[in-house]
Amino acid sequence: MDGGRAAAEEILASLMADGFVDDSRYAAAFAREKSSLTGWGPAKIRYALMMKGIPREIITGALEEIDRDAASARLEKLAAAKYRTLAGDPYAKFKLIKYALSRGYDYSEVEPVVERILTHSLSEENQ
């Protein structure tokens, strides 16, 4: 069995030397994927990478690869869809904020989006 372990370590060393096994590369791909496909915000992505044992400086670099404009648009779309499910709920604003925060977005990003959605919704109701 020791020969198999040595072979595995040799293969791993080769993959690392060639850049195929790399925390930075993995973290950047993970951050881009979670942001674009699942709509996670930076806080949730940071936490997930920390739980995987990725160093903070690598996480910071990976988060810089996220397209901020696309992430903001995604937050707006997710929040608007959630708001539609809360129609008539007197706690809709609170639930919408809680939902967006649970997706990993900061309150400073969430609050203006929620206000836009609520304002837009009220203007549609008054028409």
- Note every long-range contact of 56-59, with CB atoms under 8 Å and residues 24 or more positions apart, other chains counting: 58/23, 58/24, 58/27, 59/27
Q: Are 43 and 105 in contact (CB under 8 A)?
A: yes
Q: Which two tokens stand for residue 108?
A: 């400073």
pLDDT of residue 122: 63
Whole-number pLDDT of residue 7? 83
The pLDDT value given to residue 127: 55
How high is the pLDDT of residue 115?
Answer: 95
pLDDT 10s per residue in the chain (127 long)? 567 888 878 877 776 676 666 889 999 999 999 999 999 999 999 999 999 999 999 999 999 999 999 999 999 999 999 999 998 899 999 999 999 999 999 999 999 999 999 988 766 665 5
Per-residue confidence (pLDDT) for residue 50, from 0 to 100: 96
